Amino acid sequence: MNLNNDDFITIGNKKSSKVSILWFHGYGSNNWSFEPTMKLINMRLNEVAYIILPNAPIIDGKSSWYPLPTRNNNGNLVEDYDGLSKSIEAIDDLIESLSLDQNKKFIVGGFSQGAALSLSLLFKSRHEIDGCAALSGYMPSADKFKEFSLKSDNIFIAHGYEDKAINYDDFKKILTNKGGFIMAHWDGSEETEKRIKDETKATIRCILHGGKEEDGKCIYSGKPSKRRVVFAKAY
* Domain map (residue ranges) of the chain: 8-158, 182-235
pLDDT at 35: 95
pLDDT at 150: 86
Q: What CA–CA distance (Å, rounded) separates 44 from 18?
A: 14
Q: Which residues, at least 6 apart from 91, have a Cβ–Cβ distance to it below 8 Å?
A: 3, 22, 54, 117, 121, 125
- SS3 assignment, position 90: helix
What is the block-wise mean pLDDT of the chain (235 residues), using blocks of 10 residues?
A: 73 96 94 94 95 92 89 82 94 94 96 94 95 90 86 83 63 69 85 90 76 78 86 74
pLDDT at 219: 85
Give the angle subtended at the CA of 86 by the CAs of 170 and 9, to the nearest 5°.
85
Superfamily name and number for 182-235: C-terminal domain of ProRS (3.30.110.30)
Instruction: Indicate if the alpha-carbon torsion angle 10, 11, 16, 21 is positive or negative.
Output: negative
pLDDT at 164: 55
Q: What CA–CA distance (Å, rounded) separates 90 from 65?
A: 10
CB of 15 within 8 A of CB of 104? no
pLDDT at 122: 93
Helix 168-177 with 190-200: angle, nearest 10 deg:
50
Rg (CA), the chain: 18
What pTM was estimated for this model as a whole? 0.72
Q: How far apart are the first and last CA of the chain?
A: 37
- SS3 assignment, position 181: strand
> Topology of 8-158 in CATH?
Rossmann fold (3.40.50)
Give me the phi and psi of 97, to 5 degrees please: -70, -20
